Amino acid sequence: MFSLRNAASAGLGPRLGRLNLPNRNHIDTPHYLGVTSRGVIPHLTPDSLSAHTSISGVYVGLEDWAGVDRETATHDSSPLRAFTALPHSALCVLGARRTPPVAAPAANSNTDETVSVCTAVGFKTLRAEEYAPAVEKLGADIVVGLGDIPYGRKLGNKRVEKGTDRMINWMTEHVALRRETEQEATAGLEGKQARFFAPLLPVSCANQRFYVETLTDELKGSVDGLAIYDTLTLEDMPAQLAPLPRLAFTTPATPHDVLHQVALGFDLLTIPFITAATDAGIALDFSFPAPACLNADSGTQDSQFLSPKPLGTDMWSPTHSTSLTPLAENCTCYACTNHHCAYIQHLLVAKEMLGWVLLQIHNHHIVDCFFDGIRKTIGDGTFEQEREGFARTYEKDLPEKTGQGPRVRGYQFKSEGPGEPKKNTSNFKPFEDGKMLDDGKEVLADSALPRADANAIEIEKTGFAERTG
């Protein structure tokens, strides 16, 4: 399933590999998975995903499907893939929670039998005994085991001990179910089984050594990969787990974070800042290796003494209203080869959803090319050198959001309680004097209603109502 192609496969360090599953396009790693919302990448329909992007795999959270009738979705070999209309060649990874998840309101939201998940109707509890059979029946390519991950909170010693015990029990029970299913599949009673990735607590392996020993001893041969939630876990990972593919749920905020995590040895990453940039109206504009800049003083190609370049372009800026240039120079994506900045800026101002569609296509193309460059430099042995050059060439953070993007949904933020400001601006605004049309204190001039068959000339003679006072 997964093979490492470079010698530096043990310990910390960038790795070249290939993930190859039956009936799916192979994925050369390091690479990324598209982050979905209810099974689809925001702003991209399945036909746009197939025709205009090179996204090779997606991650789906089970919490998105709370309330869906499972009985009506079991007539296909992959009910999840059929329901989401995911392209047949794309890899589908299924876990308990979306990424990035909304932190649960309770400090200790998980128990020995349940974890707290954020559904379309608020936070609910997901039972461990229900999770395993549910994800196995949905027909994903890779299933991430249920983890006792306290999102947004640090783990104390007692909490780590408790989480270790829970995950040992949950993984043991899940693997036992999979072994029963595997026997049925061998007998021809069930379909092909998904690959299984075991989650690790967001602490060092030494602090969860009993759980790690369970993975390397009792569950050896039943775990196909690892789901990692903190870079700290890689620092002392045992050699027995080194050959397994590593899926990162570490939510990198910038391309610099991505390069840092690739340098540590992650193989697959989930990158929420792609869609976050799209929602903010930002067109990503970076490449790896970073382009060499000509120094005017020395005449050499060096970016050390030049001001850093932004990682993206804010398309809300009025300066783009007459620009006929593409979103990024030399970009070959669908948006840049068919449209220009002025058109996309107009779409954003007019609140046309096509504007975010084109930005999403462009931003994913930029990240695809970014990972192509990462893999090439790892193969050439110049990754660390180019990483330093990238840090000198580009700013540390993405541009600040200046415009109002699409409406914020409940899964994108945690409510802080009564009295908090609205996340979305109102579509109906008061007049300059603060009055509303329906407040009963304002009188509008009367106008006679035109006849049903009146033409434009008659309506012009009748006139329209005017504001008085």
Query: What CATH number is given to the structural domain containing 255?
Result: 3.20.20.105
pLDDT of 460: 73
- Going through 22-174 in order, the beta strands assigned E by DSSP cover 27-29, 31-35, 57-61, 91-95, 114-119, 122-127, 142-144
| Residues contacting 283, CB < 8 A, separation 6+ | 277, 312, 313, 315, 327, 328, 344, 359, 362, 363
394 and 290 Cβ atoms separated by less than 8 Å: yes
H or E stretch including 257? helix 255-264
Q: Does residue 462 sit in the same domain as residue 359?
A: no
H or E stretch including 131? helix 128-137
Q: Has residue 186 got a pLDDT over 90?
A: no
Q: Does residue 25 sit in the same domain as residue 170?
A: yes
pLDDT of 120: 78
Q: What is the pLDDT of residues 1-13, one digit of tens each?
A: 899 887 554 578 9
pLDDT of 103: 83
pLDDT of 194: 92
| More confident: 185 or 26 | 26
Q: Does residue 88 sit in the same domain as residue 137?
A: yes
For 32, list phi and psi in degrees, rounded to 5. -130, 160
For 3, list phi and psi in degrees, rounded to 5. -135, 135
pLDDT of 189: 46
The structure's pTM equals: 0.85
| More confident: 422 or 81 | 81
Mean pLDDT of 204-216: 95
Q: Does residue 400 sit in the same domain as residue 440?
A: no
Q: Does residue 281 sit in the same domain as residue 191?
A: yes
Q: Does residue 302 sit in the same domain as residue 444?
A: no
Structure tokens at 340: 């220009």
Q: Does residue 313 sit in the same domain as residue 436?
A: no
pLDDT of 296: 43
* Number of domains the chain contains: 2
| Residues contacting 300, CB < 8 A, separation 6+ | 294
Q: Has residue 68 got a pLDDT over 80?
A: no
Structure tokens at 82: 């059929």
**Out of 14-23, 101-110, 127-136, 213-222, least confident range:** 101-110
For 340, list phi and psi in degrees, rounded to 5. -135, 175
Q: Does residue 167 sit in the same domain as residue 86?
A: yes
| More confident: 357 or 406 | 357
Asked if residue 250 is part of any domain, the answer here is yes
pLDDT of 295: 47
Asked if residue 426 is part of any domain, the answer here is no
For 191, list phi and psi in degrees, rounded to 5. -80, -175
Residue 92 is assigned to a ligand binding site: no
Asked if residue 83 is part of any domain, the answer here is yes
Instruction: Tell me what the pLDDT averaged over the chain comes to.
Output: 86
Residue 336 is assigned to a ligand binding site: yes
Tell me how crowded residue 434 is: count the other CB atoms within 10 A of its CB.
Answer: 7
Residue among 138, 118, 240 at smallest CA distance from 181: 138
Q: Has residue 439 got a pLDDT over 60?
A: no
| More confident: 421 or 348 | 348
Q: What is the pLDDT of residues 34-51, one digit of tens each?
A: 999 988 999 999 999 999
pLDDT of 359: 97
Residue 362 is assigned to a ligand binding site: yes
Asked if residue 424 is part of any domain, the answer here is no
Q: Does residue 464 sit in the same domain as residue 405?
A: no
| More confident: 119 or 333 | 333
Domain finish residue from 383, 412, 441: 412
Confidence of residue 294 (pLDDT cuts 50, 70, 90): very low
| 381/360 Cα distance (integer angstroms) | 32
Confidence of residue 446 (pLDDT cuts 50, 70, 90): low
Residue among 181, 90, 92 at smallest CA distance from 141: 92
Q: What is the per-residue DSSP string for 296-363?
A: TTT-SB--TTSPPBPSEEETTSGGGTT--S-SSTT--SHHHHH--HHHHHHHHHTT-HHHHHHHHHHH
Domain of 159, in residue numbers: 2-319+354-412
Q: What is the pLDDT of residues 136-173, one digit of tens each?
A: 999 999 999 999 998 877 888 899 999 999 999 999 99
Mean pLDDT of 450-460: 74
Residue 333 is assigned to a ligand binding site: yes
